[in-house]
Amino acid sequence: MIYLDFAAATPVNDKALKAMGPYFAEEFFNPSSPYLPAKKVAAEYESAKAVIARAIGAKATDLVITAGATEANNLAFTALSLGEAEPTFKILYLETEHDSVRRVAEQCGGVAIQVLPSGLIDLEDLKGKITDGTELISVSLVNNELGTIQPLAEVAKIVREIRLDRMRRGVKRQLLLHSDASQALNLLDVNVARLGVDLMTLNSAKIYGPKGVGALYVSHEAKLRPLVAGGGQEQGLRSGTENVPGVIGFATVVAEAKKHVKNNRAKYRELRRILLDELQGYELINKKHTLDNFVILCYNGLDAERLVFLLEDKGVYVATGAACAASKGVRSHVLKAIGLSDSEIAGSLRLSLGELNDAEQMHEAARIINEVVLAERARING
């Protein structure tokens, strides 16, 4: 098997598996219980949260642990004020956002910010759409389909300028910046202060940790409301017995990711070069401003969904876009937003590299992809 879909799922790191093990059967206690073994588990849980928080320049008390990035994104939108007469342009979100941001933003009457053909945010469009009614702006740090790295610090600068202008004019409405950083922790140096965010989503499953575990960084300026009522865990914002093994595993992979960011980037840059040098007959969609492990290929005139199945038969696993959209046969809104035609979208593959890959696999993957594409073009041409 040559697996090239690490943006969709990653295997759990061996160190994380080992660290999690005791908390399934031996240290199984509920952290909310009053006796000593439970208090010990509670302390270890908080210590793990502190590891995750320090990796992004925050404190453990700034994090709310969730059941993944989707829940964290939804929780972030509870920062919106409640009122009968809601202003237009209350929410602005990047049009290439993951569905867990797009759908909740649309439900709240959100307005999309355009992107440039490169996939980068159109900062002028952002400036033109911010009004005195705008309360929340959501821009992912890294796009989950293209790997595009957004200039989040520049967005934050615009937000700060708007806040100062509102203060001068006596406008009291809040303006918060949220970012989904699910794809970023193992390849970028993520720091909430430098990026200037008020809310940030993190995801264990994308960085070789357990699935079903995520976190939302919450600054002191953001006031959230719980999505679930219950026992008051996570400062009352995420009730339910704590997922101790999951958070222990999450902390383990966060610490590993932080240590190896530079080495990871160098490795994927070289693997990407090998792959692109040997592939034939493609157009590269994500040429600049992208994570080193994302390769978006367009084979115009071919059916990428058919290519996925043909490649699977030969042991190569790739995707046509976000897994949640591809499984429903939905065309990529991300590729449409950057100006690709229906034919180009239909012929686009997403390859995302990861820890299991090496140079030998890149040579073999390129050979098999070339072979499958050539056969498909011959079939279509009769």
Q: How far is CA 364 from CA 10, 69, 271, 275, in A?
A: 21, 33, 12, 9
Per-residue pLDDT, averaged over 26-33, amounts to 94
Looking at residue 329, its pLDDT comes to 57
Domain locations along the chain = 2-10+261-380, 14-255
Tell me what the pLDDT averaged over the chain comes to. 94
Output the pLDDT for position 206: 96
Report the distance separating Cα 374 and Cα 216, nearest Å: 45
Cα separation, 98 vs 76, in Å, equals: 14
In angstroms, rounded to a whole number, what is the distance separating the alpha carbons of residues 279 and 322?
22
- Exposed e or buried b for every residue in 227-252, given b needs 16+ CB within 10 A? eeeeeebbeebbeeebbbbbbbbbbb
Query: What is the C-alpha to C-alpha distance for residues 39 and 313, in angstroms, rounded to an integer?
Result: 51
The CATH number of the structural domain formed by 2-10+261-380 is 3.90.1150.10
The tally of CA atoms less than 13 A away on the side-chain side of residue 242 is 30
Cα separation, 326 vs 28, in Å, equals: 38
Question: CA 267, CA 264: separation in Å to the nearest integer?
Answer: 5
Q: Is the dihedral of CA 108, 114, 118, 120 positive or negative?
A: negative
84: confidence class by pLDDT, cuts 50, 70, 90: low
Mean pLDDT (whole number) for 243-248? 97
Our CA angle for 165, 167, 169, nearest 5°, is: 70
The pLDDT, as a whole number, for residue 236 is 83
What residues have CB less than 8 Å from 229, skipping those under 6 apart?
A: 239
Question: What pLDDT is stored for residue 331 in this prediction?
Answer: 76
Check pLDDT > 80 for residue 29: yes
Please say whether the beta carbons of 285 and 345 come within 8 A: no
Q: Going along 41-157, which residue ranges are E strands?
A: 63-66, 91-94, 111-113, 136-138
pLDDT tens-digit readout, 327-345: 555 678 999 999 999 999 9
Q: Using pLDDT thresholds of 50, 70 and 90, give the confidence band for residue 82.
A: confident
pLDDT in tens, 133-164: 999 999 999 999 999 999 999 999 999 999 99
Q: Identify the pLDDT of residue 330.
A: 65
SS3 255: helix
What the block records as the tokens of 141 is 């740090």
**pLDDT at residue 117, rounded to an integer:** 95
Q: Which of 17, 38, 228, 324 is catalytic?
A: 324
Angle at 6 between CA 5 and CA 11, to 5 degrees: 120
CATH code, 14-255? 3.40.640.10
Position 107, amino acid: Q
* pTM metric for this prediction: 0.93
* DSSP secondary structure of 48-68: HHHHHHHHTT--GGGEEEESS
Contact 255, 55 (CB under 8 A): yes
Q: What stretches of the chain adopt beta strand conformation (E)?
A: 2-3, 63-66, 91-94, 111-113, 136-138, 176-180, 199-203, 214-218, 283-284, 294-298, 316-317, 348-352
Q: Which two tokens stand for residue 347?
A: 């012929």
Quote the tokens at residue 137.
Answer: 């702006």
- First-to-last alpha carbon distance for the chain, in angstroms, is 31
Pairing of strands 283-284, 316-317: unpaired
pLDDT band at 91 (very low <50, low <70, confident <90, very high): very high
**Residue 108 falls in the annotated catalytic set:** no
Write down the pLDDT at residue 360: 98
Alpha carbons 223 and 216: distance in angstroms, whole number: 13
The token duo for 134 is: 């705008």
Q: What is the mean pLDDT of residues 176-205?
A: 96
Longest dimension (CA), the chain: 74
Average pLDDT over residues 180-195: 95
